Chains A and B, each alone.
Chain A
Amino acid sequence: MSMEQIVDKYFRPGRLPHIWCPGCGNGVVTGCICKAVDKLGLDQNEVVVVSGIGCSSRASGYLDFNTVHSAHGRALPVATGVKLAEPRLKVIVVTGDGDCTAIGGNHLIHAARRNIDMTVVLYNNSIYGMTGGQYSPMTPLGSKATTAPYATIEQDFDVTELVRAAGATFVARATTFHAQVLADVIAKGIQHKGFALIEAVAACPTSFGRHNKMPNPATLMEWQRDHAVMKAAWDKMDAAKREGKFPIGVLYEDNSRKEYTDAYEELIARAQGGKK
Chain B
Amino acid sequence: MRIELRLSGTGGQGLITAGIILAEAALLDGKLAVQSQSYGPEARGGSSKAEVIISDQAIHFSKVTKPDILLAMSQEAMNKYSGDLGPDSVIVTDSLFVSKIPAHEGKVYELPITHTAKNELGRALFSNIVALGALYKLTKVVSYEALEKAVLNRVPKGTEEKNKKALAAGIAMVD
Contact flag (A, B; Cβ within 8 A): no
Residues of B within 8 A of A (CB): none
Residues of A within 8 A of B (CB): none
